[in-house]
Amino acid sequence: MLEVLPQIPLFQELENTEKYKIFQIGHQISLSSGEILFKQNEPATHFYIVLEGQIQIIQKVEEQEILIGTYSNNQFFGEVPLLAGTPHLASGKAVIYSVLYCFDEKDFWQIMLTFPCIRKKIIGFMANRMQELQTISLHHEKMIALGTLAAGLAHELNNPASAVQGAVGLLNETINNRNTLASKAITEALDPKQLESFLNLKNYAVKYASNALCLEPLKQIEWEDELTNWLDTHQVDNSWKLAPNLVIGGIKVEHLEKISQELPTQTFKDVLVWLEAIINEFNMLNVLQQGIIRISDIITAVKSYSFVEQTPYKKKDVDLHACLENTLIILSFKLKKKNISVICNYDHQLPFIYADGNSLNQVWTNLIDNAIDAINTKGTIWIRTAVEKNYVIVEIADNGSGIPPEIQSRIFEPFFTTKEVGKGMGLGLDLVYKIVVNEHKGTIRCLSEPGYTSFLIHLPISEFRS
């Protein structure tokens, strides 16, 4: 044990004789993976130093668990309740097999009084940890509010959305039955060859409408004008009304030429009106269906974003692409308002990572939201993912105003902000850093110059599983 003490930063300024005294005071314990070291609200009795392994400090608030911190080799903890004279504010447990060196409360106070260099370091760390606890608490309150909002939103929207979806299905079935009867009446007036041509055109139009993409406005106008002119030439009434929906069904002049030559004039006009009605009805049903799907997607995104109905602080295999897409949906209004385009360059071989998706969503939200704020209007945000050895890479960049060089070294400091009063507390990037570096053992780097800013994040693919 004595040879280990010099490696612990807390004891580096001590003489060998002083280290020996400390060695005699403390004692060593070991914990198996998942074993509880102390429980929340229990009396605080010891100060701990991690010699090997990893210890998580988890606070339980309203049946939800919050990760306060993770301590590994040569780090110390347990000083906060001892100095404050309170019970443990959270529980401590071993993530993997761990070895700790412990000092009981009496010996801890003796060390504090005897060695000023140790006292200075411990008090300095305590101040930082209290600030971290305040930041995490603010973050947690926001997530509780978001989770409550998401649950309520999901409930309020799911019921009417399901009702509309069911009504659309029934309406579609009713229209199909009616069209079958109408089709039967029309087909009785056609011979087999005419019937084949008619059915082929109808099936083509319906299939085209179901897969059609939005046309450029000029191209659509030209297409409609061609059909309108042809219909007017062949004395078809309401040509201006028929043309737009015929375009949606992919009907071109050559289709009209062919079918008009095979059908009697009046039958052709009746078939055309009926075909336009089918396309119009199908298009409106499709718009309704797409609207319902969009509402469902938003509900799913909000629930996934806040990880509603999942146990808070619980690491699991996370799909980063799904998290990023959910975050973009949440921020879509702000993106559209500023006319910002998002270009995603995803590595489709990207593996899932063992992480807390709830926390990582806060990372993506803060970084993308900051990028939006940095862009005046009509800018671009780039999101890139990749794999590098045992890490996944997520890069979020923008062509906004950039971060001035003189403050780049301070952007991850708590309560540091360049935003106006009331528009930010300066906790966003501080929280990002804590989640990426402290909670997930990753790295984050910022590169910025006028007109370009990039945040590059490395996250381990697999971390310790308890």
Residue 256 lies in a domain: yes
Reported pTM? 0.47
Do 44 and 156 lie in a common domain?
A: no
- Answer with the residue of higher pLDDT: 398 or 149: 398
Mean pLDDT, residues 165-171 taken together: 72
User: pLDDT tens-digit profile of 220-278?
Assistant: 889 989 999 999 988 888 888 888 888 888 899 998 888 888 888 888 888 888 888 88
Dihedral sign (CA 320, 149, 291, 170): positive
Do 291 and 382 lie in a common domain?
A: no
**Phi and psi of 248, rounded to 5°?**
-60, -35
Note whether 51 and 100 are within 8 A (CB).
yes
Residue 306 lies in a domain: no
Any idea what the CATH number is for the domain that residue 379 is in? 3.30.565.10
- Answer with the residue of higher pLDDT: 294 or 69: 69
Do 334 and 219 lie in a common domain?
A: no
Residue 444 lies in a domain: yes
Do 109 and 60 lie in a common domain?
A: yes
Mean pLDDT, residues 190-207 taken together: 82
Any idea what the CATH number is for the domain that residue 25 is in? 2.60.120.10
Residue 288 has pLDDT above 90, yes or no: no
| DSSP structure class, residue 45 | -
Return the structure tokens found at 377: 């209007």
Residue 81 has pLDDT above 50, yes or no: yes
Domain count of the fold of the chain: 3
Do 295 and 328 lie in a common domain?
A: no
Residue 173 lies in a domain: yes
- Give Cβ neighbours of residue 97 (< 8 Å, ≥ 6 apart): 30, 31, 32, 33, 52, 53
Among 306, 317, 246, 244, residue whose Cα is nearest residue 276: 246
- Residue 425: its pLDDT value, please? 40
Per DSSP (E only), the strands in 53-208 are 54-61, 64-72, 76-77, 91-94, 98-104
Domain of 359 in residue numbering reads as: 315-460
- Give Cβ neighbours of residue 188 (< 8 Å, ≥ 6 apart): none
Mean pLDDT, residues 92-99 taken together: 91
- Residue 312: its pLDDT value, please? 45
Note whether 96 and 466 are within 8 A (CB).
yes
Mean pLDDT, residues 69-75 taken together: 84
Residue 227 lies in a domain: yes
- Residue 43: its pLDDT value, please? 93
Do 372 and 443 lie in a common domain?
A: yes
Do 256 and 197 lie in a common domain?
A: yes
Q: For residue 374, give Cα distances in angstroms to 326, 333, 420, 444, 451.
A: 21, 16, 13, 19, 10
- Answer with the residue of higher pLDDT: 353 or 7: 353
- Give Cβ neighbours of residue 352 (< 8 Å, ≥ 6 apart): 317, 318, 319, 320
